[in-house]
Structure 1
Amino acid sequence: MSFEAVSLEGRVAIVTGAGVGMGAATARLLAARGAKVVVSDINPETGEATTEQILSDGGEACFIKCDVADEGQVEALVARTVETFGKLDCAVNNAAITPDTLPIAEADMEVWDRVIAVDLRGVMLCMKYEIRQMLAQGNGGSVVNISSVSGVRPQPNNSAYVAAKHGVIGLTKAGSLENAPHNIRVNAVLPGAIDTPMLRAALEANNFTEAEFAPQLSLFSRFGKPEEVAEASAWLCSDASSYVTGHSMALEAGYLTR
């Protein structure tokens, strides 16, 4: 096996939640590595912006709006991907919403249900239709689910987010068991403290600065970059990770070692 830079030449990929943050960085990187990328997001403005950036950089991409909690929209996302690019080889299920912020005894169940709907049900729905398409093609494929370090090390006051991210790891394991005979690999990426709009909003809401908070979450005393998470997803989408399935890859600068 060659140890040259990971190539995704000729692949077709879906990235959900690709308007900002890790999703946008992942979509751009997959396109830079040669993939034709379907940029999906619930927000057309940010999704179109990511798509335009890929096109201006010489890549191939299109934007498809999708609320991943809506089964009909997810089914249409995969169908339109195949209509546009002819197939589906890999997918990064990244779409998520801001965690809940109350202890269990005070939980707002409307918020709780929405977090579960997007962060867990959304991943399940994407897997359902992505894997169904890959099975129909008969050529294998790769699915990458974005979980979180909260999927293995809970934090207080966001039970819905913690439950959802634990669930994503469970779905990843189940998907790998079911689909390994079909050469469809299913893996998860567990980001730690990554510098995204979601993290910045949480810092602002709690009156923290990066200098104060990053040392608690990172042995490097800094936040991770979305591009660093994108590299992991690109590797898992590529043939370089051909012997990897059912794995949860943590990108957390040593947070889980403490």
Structure 2
Amino acid sequence: MDFQGKVVLITGAAGGIGLAAARKFAAEGAKLALVDLDKSTLQDATGDIEGALLLPANVTDEADVKRYVDETVKAFGRIDVFVNNAGINGDFKTIDEQSFENYRNVLDVNVIGVAMGLKHVVAQMKAQGNGGAIVNTASNGGLLGAPGMSAYVASKHAVIGINKSVALETAGDGIRVNAVCPSGVDTQMMRSIETNAMKGNEAEARKSFESSVPMGRYAESEEIADLMLFLASDKASFITGAYYRIDGGGAATST
């Protein structure tokens, strides 16, 4: 999957799936614009990626979103691929214990941040006139329920709905819009989930979560990134509006 000279914009690029995707796109020759909330964290995480444009931004602030798009275009002239990846899990509480603030925070990042990224990147891709590829990070939580995670689950269901709608809006412009739906990935987010599930006994929580996966383990960030690269590549030229479960066989156990 050759991305030589392609301009790839990635949000949530300082860790986990976003960072893995950045490294893989870089290895395939892409020019990278990398977005995350904290500049120093972004610098530390991406120091091994040569030539990347680092853009600290708050994805919930539309002015910041427009700025990271504009600065990418100013530096590289265009955007060919957008990996719309920034997201948070929020607090883990049953619905009767959930706070307004937690719901607002999760939905702002995971829904508004995704939508505003699409708004400004799609506008840029349409102006370029040569199509483009967008990969949104959803989750198995966008297809299933999870006790204590209603805010996160709601937000990821929304991402899948937005993904489908924007794919239909942009198909005639040659812009492909797809989503990945990972189950547990061996990242800091899963450490948080383990702690919330069994505080003080995180190793047992991990064992329990991994045992529920037919393949018996979490995914690695690089495995999710590989699917992102495929969906962003010309090899996926007739795929749009789709969402792909990448869950070690979990989809085979449910309807």
Question: How would you bin the TM-score normalised by the shorter chain?
Answer: over 0.9
Verify: 1:204 aligned to 2:195, yes or no. yes
Who is 2:62 aligned against? Answer: 71
- Indicate if the aligned counterparts of 2:90 and 2:105 stay in contact, CA closer than 8 A: no
- Indicate if the aligned counterparts of 1:96 and 1:119 stay in contact, CA closer than 8 A: yes
More deviation, 231-240/43-52: 43-52
Who is 1:137 aligned against? Answer: 128
Map Cα deviations across residues 33-55 of structure 1 (whole Å, 9 max, x no partner): 11101111002122112332111
**How many aligned residue pairs are there?**
248
For 1:241 and 1:66, locate their aligned partners in 2 and report how far apart those are by CA, in whole Å. Answer: 30
Q: After the TM superposition, which parts of structure 1 deviate over 4 Å for at least 4 consecutive aligned residues?
A: none
Unaligned runs of 5+ residues in structure 2 are none
For 1:109 and 1:27, locate their aligned partners in 2 and report how far apart those are by CA, in whole Å. Answer: 34
Residue 200 of structure 1 and its aligned partner are, at CA, apart by 1.3
- TM-score, normalised to structure 1, is 0.93
More deviation, 174-183/207-216: 207-216
- Indicate if the aligned counterparts of 1:186 and 1:245 stay in contact, CA closer than 8 A: yes
**Counterpart selection for 1:183 from 174, 177, 193:** 174
Residue 130 of structure 1 and its aligned partner are, at CA, apart by 0.5
- TM-score, normalised to structure 2, is 0.94
Alignment RMSD, CA only? 1.1
For 2:209 and 2:144, locate their aligned partners in 1 and report how far apart those are by CA, in whole Å. Answer: 17
Residue 179 of structure 1 and its aligned partner are, at CA, apart by 0.3
For 1:149 and 1:201, locate their aligned partners in 2 and report how far apart those are by CA, in whole Å. Answer: 17
- Indicate if the aligned counterparts of 1:176 and 1:185 stay in contact, CA closer than 8 A: yes
- Indicate if the aligned counterparts of 2:24 and 2:225 stay in contact, CA closer than 8 A: yes
Who is 1:50 aligned against? Answer: 45
Residue 245 of structure 1 and its aligned partner are, at CA, apart by 0.2
Residue 154 of structure 1 and its aligned partner are, at CA, apart by 1.2
**Counterpart selection for 2:218 from 223, 244, 252:** 223
- Indicate if the aligned counterparts of 1:39 and 1:50 stay in contact, CA closer than 8 A: no
SS in structure 1 at match of 2:48 = helix
Who is 1:146 aligned against? Answer: 137
Who is 1:213 aligned against? Answer: 209
SS in structure 2 at match of 1:87 = coil
- Indicate if the aligned counterparts of 1:148 and 1:190 stay in contact, CA closer than 8 A: yes
For 1:104 and 1:212, locate their aligned partners in 2 and report how far apart those are by CA, in whole Å. Answer: 23
Who is 2:118 aligned against? Answer: 127
More deviation, 28-37/132-141: 28-37
SS in structure 2 at match of 1:145 = strand
Who is 2:72 aligned against? Answer: 81
**Counterpart selection for 2:28 from 29, 33, 42:** 33
**Counterpart selection for 1:19 from 14, 25, 38:** 14
- Indicate if the aligned counterparts of 1:28 and 1:50 stay in contact, CA closer than 8 A: no
**Counterpart selection for 1:160 from 140, 151, 160:** 151
- Indicate if the aligned counterparts of 2:11 and 2:35 stay in contact, CA closer than 8 A: yes
Who is 1:249 aligned against? Answer: 244
- Indicate if the aligned counterparts of 2:114 and 2:159 stay in contact, CA closer than 8 A: yes
**Counterpart selection for 2:231 from 215, 222, 236:** 236
Residue 208 of structure 1 and its aligned partner are, at CA, apart by 3.2
For 2:216 and 2:90, locate their aligned partners in 1 and report how far apart those are by CA, in whole Å. Answer: 23
For 2:103 and 2:21, locate their aligned partners in 1 and report how far apart those are by CA, in whole Å. Answer: 27
Residue 203 of structure 1 and its aligned partner are, at CA, apart by 1.2
Residue 202 of structure 1 and its aligned partner are, at CA, apart by 1.9
- Indicate if the aligned counterparts of 1:19 and 1:47 stay in contact, CA closer than 8 A: yes
Q: Identity over aligned residues, as a percent?
A: 38
- Indicate if the aligned counterparts of 2:107 and 2:151 stay in contact, CA closer than 8 A: yes
Residue 126 of structure 1 and its aligned partner are, at CA, apart by 0.3
